[in-house]
Chain A
Amino acid sequence: MADGSVELIPNREQEVTLTPHEWQLLAMLFKNPDLNTLRTVWTTDNPSLDETLNQLKEKRLIKYDATDNQPNKEYIQDDSAKVPSNFWKKLEEELSKAIGPIATLVIDDKLDEFGISKEHFPQKYLYTLVEKVEVEISDQSDRKQFQRAMLDFIKQRV
């Protein structure tokens, strides 16, 4: 089964009883078979999407690997070379010049998209991170300035 997908198991001979949330999830799965998409449209906290998925899995109605739940495993696995701590300071400093004090929040938000903390962030994805962060800078010249500063920093220090 591909990461982030849920597969329905057909051909059950016994009767099945579903809770309203389980039925809701199955109906949503019909339209959104991709788990990541499903997460964006599942609005109930109680039960959570994962709880409901597990219930359906226990009833042997779906194939669903709980490890799929880990965000962006590919980023986490590649932790061979970590980012020096001064990178984060520089990133925040340069971003603050362009967008002000919300820079920290933006960086945290982008890190969330990777699903990985600063401490474990692999060097390999620094350029991708810079690219993701810079889209939040609306002024084009500020954006270019930010990009150049970060490219220079990465080249020299990382």
Chain B
Amino acid sequence: MKSKFKKKLTLFVEENGFVTSVLINNKDKSVAYPDIGEEKNRFFQEMISFFKNNTGENAHILFYSQDSCVYMLKTNKGVYICECQRNTSPSQIKMEFNTFVEDFENQGNFSSLFSTFFDR
């Protein structure tokens, strides 16, 4: 992962104490920070697939599990997941994460940016 973009994602997770993990999906590729493990990754991939096929552009959804809440956002460039502590205000998650995604997508060419996540 190239440092500039990794930094952006790392910073967002670390600066916002309520965020547990973030996953970014573009086409058939996904990257998560911090590592979310295989089981959760599989679950998120299923959610992404459902979300992609059943919602329009700029859709968002918030759902709760026993110990966390998960915010999913779909733009024309990708699907983004923000997993947060369960007691976080939905407005806070929505505003903070939407701002992050907007910044993220506005930094140059998104496709090349995204591919950099997989450059090692």
Contact = CB atoms under 8 A, between A and B. Distances in A.
Given A125-B89, A128-B89, A144-B102, 11 more contacts: A127-B89, A127-B91, A127-B95, A128-B90, A130-B91, A130-B95, A147-B95, A151-B95, A151-B96, A151-B99, A155-B15
A89 interface: no
Interface of A: 124-125, 127-128, 130-131, 144, 147-148, 151, 155
Nearest to A123: B89
A124 B94 CA distance: 15
A131 B91 contact: yes
19 contacts: A124-B89, A125-B89, A127-B91, A127-B92, A127-B95, A128-B89, A128-B90, A128-B91, A130-B95, A131-B91, A131-B94, A131-B95, A144-B102, A147-B95, A148-B99, A151-B95, A151-B96, A151-B99, A155-B15
Interface of B: 15, 89-92, 94-96, 99, 102
Nearest to A131: B91
Interface secondary structure of A, over-half rule: helix
A148 B95 CA distance: 9
Nearest to A154: B92
A128 B89 CA distance: 8
A144 B103 CA distance: 12
A104 B85 CA distance: 34
Contacts of A144: 102
Contacts of A127: 89, 91-92, 95
Contacts of A131: 91, 94-95
Contacts of B102: 144
Nearest to A148: B99
A131 B94 CA distance: 9
Nearest to B92: A127
B20 to A, nearest CB: 18
A128 B91 CA distance: 5
B99 to A, nearest CB: 6
